[in-house]
Amino acid sequence: MTVTRFAPSPNGPLHLGHAYSAVVAHDLAKRAGGRFLLRIEDIDGPRSRPELAEAFRRDLAWLGLEWEEVPAQSTRLATYAAAAQELLARGYLYRCTCTRAEIVSLGPRIGSQGAVYPGTCKTRPPEPDKPAALRLDMARALADVGPLEWEDAVAGVQRADPLEAGDVVIVRKDSPASYHLAATLDDAADSVTLVTRGEDLFAATPIHRVLQALLDLPVPRWHHHRLLVDASGQKLAKRRGSPSLADRREAGEDGLLLAEQLRLHRFPGGISLASA
Ligand code: GLU
């Protein structure tokens, strides 16, 4: 059974790029007689505005999509904490008290997930009274589980290269899990078989593949779709003037027609799919 999901973070309203992502995931499931899930990823600290979730549901209904909603991430914190404790006890995580500014001041290499952590707290005991994140000791993890492969329905079989991203954060200072840990655990708990999302998250998948191996989770397939970009080639964002789906809905636009147009890759106002 094909199970896909749309997993928006309620940090801001949904726009056309999200609509495209939801339609792609919905149709991949429905065409295969499978299930399409909605999961609200609402653990992004103060950026999370859970009240937006209701607008997201209205947006999906307006597009004519049918979904099953699974529990929001904020209801699953105990699961994340248990998995993090297990990884910590097995020696795969270490405490890190470095601030973003400290890391930047070390002139780190920039990888797919941003600044690659130079491992400072791995070799010096972190001060116990400072707030700490938990980082994955990637070299140690890979020594035990690697090399790993994963399969993208569009791009084919990939060799995971998570060292490229370095010792990523697994438990944030301000949140009981990072996106990587929460999404990986949830996709397994929700029985997702085809993780459908934008290409901007392609480079996160090797990290998720390592977590699956460490935590003995089932390995899904992935479908990373191309992103929508505006006339200047930039990712859509409300701050660059892309109207939100709620704006379009409230202006009386026909959502069913919009979903049909997205399926046909007919995009309004100079918007197109980014070239691969
Ligand atoms: N919550 C993420 C976002 O809104 C998507 C995560 C995913 O699809 O894995 O960007």
Q: What is the mean pLDDT of each run of 10 residues along the chain (276 residues)?
A: 97 96 98 98 88 96 98 97 97 95 90 90 85 96 94 96 93 92 98 97 97 98 96 81 91 98 94 88
Ordered by where they begin, the domains of the chain are 3-75+226-273 (3.40.50.620), 77-150+160-179 (3.40.50.620)
**If you take atom 6 of ligand 1, which residue's CA is the nearest one?**
7
What per-residue confidence (pLDDT) applies to 158?
A: 97
Bridge partners of 58, per DSSP, are: none
Which string of DSSP letters, residue by residue, matches 18-57?
HHHHHHHHHHHHHHTT-EEEE-----SGGG--TTHHHHHH
Structural tokens at position 81 = 């904490």
User: By the 8 A CB rule, do 117 and 163 touch?
Assistant: no
Question: Mind telling me the catalytic residues?
Answer: 238
In one-letter notation, the amino acid at residue 82 is A
Ligand 1 centroid, distance to 18 Cα (angstroms): 10
- Could you give the 3-state DSSP secondary structure of residue 185? helix
What per-residue confidence (pLDDT) applies to 276?
A: 67
What per-residue confidence (pLDDT) applies to 210?
A: 98
What per-residue confidence (pLDDT) applies to 146?
A: 82
What per-residue confidence (pLDDT) applies to 90?
A: 98
**Cα separation of 162 and 272, whole Å?**
30
What per-residue confidence (pLDDT) applies to 238?
A: 67
Pocket of ligand 1 (CB under 6 A): 7-9, 41, 183, 197, 201
What per-residue confidence (pLDDT) applies to 160?
A: 85
- Closest ligand 1 atom to the C-alpha of 187? 9
